[in-house]
Structure 1
Amino acid sequence: MPDWSRTYVRYVEALNYRVGRFAMYLLFVMMGILLWSSITKIIHLPAIWTLEMAQFTLVAYYLLGAPYTFQLDTNVRMDLLYARQSPKTKAIWDAITVFVLIFYLGVMLYGSFGSMVYSFEVGERAASGWRPYLWPIKSIICASFVLMILQAVAHLIRDIAIWRGEEI
């Protein structure tokens, strides 16, 4: 494999590793928000921001962790036939399916980017009592789709290397 492909895979996976490790801690942030929500309800001073903030945190946790999960190959897969295949056959199937994934992620990125731009332009807010701006979470959604596309391309490069009998 060319040096640029090895460098690309190394940098993308290093970035997604760091982002994924950061995203893991968002679960604790969400737990803290929900704990605060419970405490304020007990003392009869409920905070109106906790539910939406917990939802935003969960979205960031889930979407920013997806490229890391894909990198570690711990994503959900139907192993009925796949597990019995040789590494080269698995790499061929992965290379075929990663094109479908990239197409899907491209469509999602296109839609989320348009939504994020709209959110910036009009100062879109949630329809709730707290009324937070939506551009921060929409920006995180767009960034996570970009990271996932980068990781899918890195995965494709790895699959091509395996198919050719090389390791990255």
Structure 2
Amino acid sequence: MIGLIRGYIHAVDAVNYRLGRVIMYGIFVLMGILLWSSISKTFFLPTLWTLEMAQFVMVAYYILGGPYSIQLGSNVRMDLLYGEWSTRKKAWFDLFTVLLLIFYLCVLLYGAVSSTAYSLGYWGTEPFSFFAGLLTGSEEIGRMERSSTAWRPYLWPIKAVMIVGMFLMLLQCLSEFFKDLLRIRGEVL
């Protein structure tokens, strides 16, 4: 069982580490979009797509970079008491708090799936069955949701990024949960 847990930790950490190292450079994409926005507004006709595209890139940067941030422990933490605790006491506290985070991420993931199904034209209350129906051919994509701006892009791609990001963050939190369990048992990671 310990070998299976270690394999899960290694696989999830490897995927999120590699993805995080790639997504880290998304800030340059964002800078390029905003630079083009400034140049086009100054010298040419202003473009319609730059502000909204910058928002989409920022969402992808933030959501897909979250698992990498959790893995590195670079999230904000109050060190008033935590810094003085033993490794075992920290693991017990982290074990409890990661369970709360897992619950919160499950709620967010359900919301992301529901929102994506809505953006694909599904008006019902069972978004998971809608996606299963898309795979089997029993459901069809309806009238797709578009942004209300002048550019009017489809919203399902960024909502799909939210699903992937929330799912990867959930997997990373489970990895952190297992790491805390191993620390409590005195295992070396």
Q: TM-score, normalised by structure 1?
A: 0.98
Say whether residues 1:157 and 2:178 are aligned partners.
yes
The alignment-based identity, stated in percent, is 53
Aligned residues: 168
**Displacement of 1:75:** 0.7
Q: CA deviation at 1:53?
A: 0.2
Q: Give distance in 2, aligned partners of 1:95 and 1:101.
A: 10
Q: Secondary structure at the match of 1:65?
A: helix
Shift of residue 44, structure 1, vs aligned partner: 3.5
> CA RMSD of the aligned region, Å?
0.9
Amino acid at match of 1:158: K
- SS at structure 2 position matched to 1:6: helix
Q: Please give the secondary structure, in 2, of the residue aligned with 1:125.
A: coil
| 1:67 alignment counterpart | 67
Partner of 2:163: 142
Question: Aligned partner of 1:55: which letter?
Answer: Q
Q: Verify the 8 A CA contact 1:34 1:51 in the aligned structure 2.
A: yes
2:145 pairs, out of 83, 101, 124, with: 124
The 5 A counterparts of 1:4-153 are 4-121=4-121, 122-153=143-174
The Cα offsets for residues 48-98 of structure 1, whole Å up to 9 and x where unpaired, read as: 000000000001101111100000011101110111100000000000000
2:82 & 2:38 partners in 1: Cα distance?
45
Instruction: State the Cα distance separating 1:21 from its structure 2 match.
Output: 1.0
Counterparts of 1:120 and 1:167, CA distance in 2: 46
Q: Which digits, 9 at most, give the CA deviation of each residue in 1:103-147, with x for residues without a partner?
A: 000001111100001112231110000000000100001111000
In 1, the alpha carbon distance for the partners of 2:84 and 2:55 equals 39
Deviating beyond 6 angstroms after TM superposition, the runs of 4 or more aligned structure 1 residues are none
Task: Tell me how far 1:19 sits from its aligned partner.
Answer: 1.2
CA contact (8 A) 1:125 1:133 kept: yes
Shift of 1:164: 0.4
**What CA deviation, in whole Å up to 9, does each residue of 1:7-63 have, x standing for no partner?**
100000011011111111110000000000011011141110000000000011011
CA distance in 2, matches of 1:167, 1:29: 39
Distance 2:120 2:167 in 1: 19
Say whether the 8 Å CA contact 1:158–1:167 is kept in structure 2: no
Deviation of the 1:2 alpha carbon = 1.3
CA–CA separation in structure 2 for the residues paired with 1:143 and 1:60: 10
- CA separation in 1, counterparts of 2:84 and 2:56? 40
